[in-house]
A and B are shown apart, each in its own frame.
Chain A
Amino acid sequence: METILETKNLRVEYRPQGRGQPKKLAVRDLNLKVEAGEVFGFLGPNGAGKTTTMNVLLGFVNATSGAAYLFGVDVRQPIARQRIGYLPELTYYYKFLTAEELLRFYARIFGMSRAQADERIEELLKLVELDSARKRPIKTYSKGMQQRVGLAQALINDPDLLILDEPTSGLDPLGRMKVREIIQRLKNEGKTVFFSSHELGEVETVCDRVAIIHQGELKVEGRVDDLVETHQGNLEKIFLSIVGYEGRSAVAAASVTS
């Protein structure tokens, strides 16, 4: 099976904020492998290093040491991003453009012909249900609509790997369901999806494998079914026990009772 995404001993340190302060270690020797066709959940509490890892994969941040590859190509090479789609957590797009113009702009970047772009834009606007709002400027869109236009731009090049950073963050239940449906559909098409989320129920539903990182370190990695069986609990319970919250909450509950 083809390895789509790989990190080898990936380490990211941020420069200290002030004099005399230590460097901040965001990611510590991370080794990950995502195979073709997998839906991979990348979990961790806030500040665990998820977004930093994604930023390295997308070429926004350089690794301090180690390496990261997409389709076997070093992520520092722009060509590594030719076959990926990315949806950031906070989606803001050029507000003076309409959804159609935005998608056409990204299509041009991928060197698509006008006919190809027309066809793809038509297909995507229908998929994310923005067909009726295609001529309206993005500044008039609701948050959910902006997230959907974000999803459409991530899919413009028909990517083989989709990187989603908190794709359902801030969406209403209907919007979440729609995003889940799209992920499921991509999975059925054989696409690889790498996404971070705090919605553990959602992750459990759609993911084949998950990795949980905490304080920059990989704590657990495996198939969702295997983890649930090994730890004898759902993903939420596993997550809480790994980040050390379960013990603390038990102590707190005991002290309240006493």
Chain B
Amino acid sequence: MTTILAIAGLVIKELYRRKDFYVLLVMTVVITAVSWLMNFFGENNIVRLLKSICLMLIWISALVIAVVTTARQIPAERESRTIFPLLAKPVTRRQVLMGKFLGCWLACGIALVVFYLFFGIVTATREHLAVTELIKGFWLQWVMLAIVIGLALLGSIVFAAPSSNSTICFVVVGGILFLGGHLGQVAMHLTEPGRTIVYAVYFLIPHLEWYNQREALVNDRALAAWSYCALATAYAAVYVAALLQATWLVFRRKTLNV
């Protein structure tokens, strides 16, 4: 476990020494502040609009941080050859993967805490802040990011270039978020074999849209119950385990460009 934590610590250190996170945070703050001050849309209920914009920016920023940070981990280790001194120590490839996964997930968690603190401040200045609901929203988004990181890590072993991996990840994650929930209904209106294929896809993909609680947070509605959060966490854990196992199966036999 010490090895995994050491590798995870390295990923976190890398994140806060790079500019990505700060740029996204500043962008979120500036856009939210400008929307607040200018009220461009002449919206009567400016607080709802502000919260909606702020949460959308948080979702986009978190996805960008998760995908981009994860996609470059293993390719950067191979390209800069830092993987060799690392694997020359008593470290297995499985530990490298676990450390990278944990590091990316924790790094995203730290970034999310900062973003949600900002969201909390924005909300608290205008209306009552439901802290418990905010924590649930944070937790569900963070758990969803674990699946996204698992996907990006698998992609980083399969695809050589981090840019192609990132693009594919964004398309897949975006596709699931926007269309994943509708696939069941689409399948019902199809004939065979299309119906079976779409149903198979529906049951195979991780349903990231289940973790999206933005509407409830914006409109001050109660979020999903804690039992739902627990089930969603277990569901994500199964997908993460499967993705990490698949990643290891590919990585353990991968030539490291020696």
Q: Which A residues contact B (CB, under 8 angstroms)?
A: 51-52, 55, 58-61, 78-82, 84, 86, 88, 90-97, 101, 105-106, 108-111, 150, 153-154, 157, 163
Residues A78 and B91 in contact in the complex (CB < 8 Å), given A60-B256, A92-B81: yes
Q: Which residue of B6, B10, B17, B258 contacts A61 across the interface (Cβ within 8 Å)?
A: B258
What distance in Å separates the Cβ of B31 from its nearest Cβ neighbour in chain A? 28
CA distance A241 to B15 in the complex (A): 54
Interface string of B233-255 (1 = CB under 8 A from A): 00000000000000000000001
What distance in Å separates the Cβ of A101 from its nearest Cβ neighbour in chain B? 7
Residues B88 and A81 in contact, CB atoms below 8 Å apart: yes
Residues A58 and B6 in contact, CB atoms below 8 Å apart: no
Residues A88 and B81 in contact in the complex (CB < 8 Å), given A96-B17, A96-B18, A109-B3: yes
Residues B90 and A51 in contact, CB atoms below 8 Å apart: no
Residues A78 and B14 in contact, CB atoms below 8 Å apart: no
Residues A86 and B88 in contact in the complex (CB < 8 Å), given A92-B81, A94-B82, A108-B2: yes
Q: Which residue of B9, B14, B90, B91 contacts A96 across the interface (Cβ within 8 Å)?
A: B14
When distances are taken between beta carbons in the complex, the residues of chain B under 8 Å from A105 are 6, 9-10
Residues B90 and A150 in contact, CB atoms below 8 Å apart: no
Interface string of B3-31 (1 = CB under 8 A from A): 10110011001100110000000000000
When distances are taken between beta carbons in the complex, the residues of chain A under 8 Å from B203 are none
Residues B90 and A79 in contact, CB atoms below 8 Å apart: yes
Residues B85 and A93 in contact, CB atoms below 8 Å apart: yes
CA distance A120 to B190 in the complex (A): 68
Cβ-based interface call for B89 (8 A) = yes
Residues A58 and B81 in contact, CB atoms below 8 Å apart: no
Residues A60 and B84 in contact in the complex (CB < 8 Å), given A51-B258, A79-B90, A81-B89: yes
When distances are taken between beta carbons in the complex, the residues of chain B under 8 Å from A92 are 80-82
5 nearest A-B pairs in the assembled complex, by CB-CB distance:
A86-B88, A108-B6, A92-B80, A96-B17, A78-B90
Interface string of B79-116 (1 = CB under 8 A from A): 01110111111111000000000000000000000000
What distance in Å separates the Cβ of A251 from its nearest Cβ neighbour in chain B? 36
Residue among A96, A111, A157 with the highest chain B CB neighbour number at 10 A: A96
Residues A84 and B13 in contact, CB atoms below 8 Å apart: no
Residues A153 and B84 in contact, CB atoms below 8 Å apart: no
CA distance A61 to B80 in the complex (A): 18
When distances are taken between beta carbons in the complex, the residues of chain B under 8 Å from A96 are 13-14, 17-18
Residues B258 and A109 in contact, CB atoms below 8 Å apart: no
Residues B13 and A97 in contact, CB atoms below 8 Å apart: yes
Residues A101 and B85 in contact, CB atoms below 8 Å apart: no
Q: How many residues of B contact A (CB 8 A)?
A: 25
Interface string of B38-58 (1 = CB under 8 A from A): 000000000000000000000
Residues A110 and B258 in contact, CB atoms below 8 Å apart: no
CB-based nearest A residue for B76: A94
What distance in Å separates the Cβ of A165 from its nearest Cβ neighbour in chain B? 9
CA distance A198 to B254 in the complex (A): 30
CB-based nearest B residue for A111: B2
Residue among B14, B89, B91, B255 with the highest chain A CB neighbour number at 10 A: B89
Residue among B84, B87, B92, B255 with the highest chain A CB neighbour number at 10 A: B84
When distances are taken between beta carbons in the complex, the residues of chain B under 8 Å from A81 are 88-90
Q: Which residue of A60, A97, A154, A157 contacts B258 across the interface (Cβ within 8 Å)?
A: A60
What distance in Å separates the Cβ of A199 from its nearest Cβ neighbour in chain B? 22
CA distance A63 to B255 in the complex (A): 13
CB-based nearest B residue for A150: B85
Name 11 A/B residue pairs within 8 A (Cβ), A-sorted.
Answer: A51-B258, A58-B84, A60-B256, A61-B255, A81-B90, A94-B14, A96-B14, A97-B13, A105-B9, A106-B89, A108-B5
When distances are taken between beta carbons in the complex, the residues of chain B under 8 Å from A95 are 80
CA distance A34 to B88 in the complex (A): 19
Residues B90 and A82 in contact, CB atoms below 8 Å apart: yes
Q: A59-B87, A86-B84, A109-B91 are in contact. List 12 more A-B contacts (CB 8 A).
A: A58-B88, A60-B84, A78-B90, A80-B90, A81-B90, A88-B85, A91-B85, A96-B14, A106-B85, A109-B3, A109-B90, A153-B85
Residues A84 and B88 in contact, CB atoms below 8 Å apart: yes
CA distance A47 to B5 in the complex (A): 38
What distance in Å separates the Cβ of A5 from its nearest Cβ neighbour in chain B? 14
CA distance A218 to B28 in the complex (A): 63
CB-based nearest A residue for B15: A96
CA distance A58 to B205 in the complex (A): 39
CB-based nearest B residue for A112: B2
What distance in Å separates the Cβ of B34 from its nearest Cβ neighbour in chain A? 32
CA distance A118 to B3 in the complex (A): 18
Residues A109 and B256 in contact, CB atoms below 8 Å apart: no
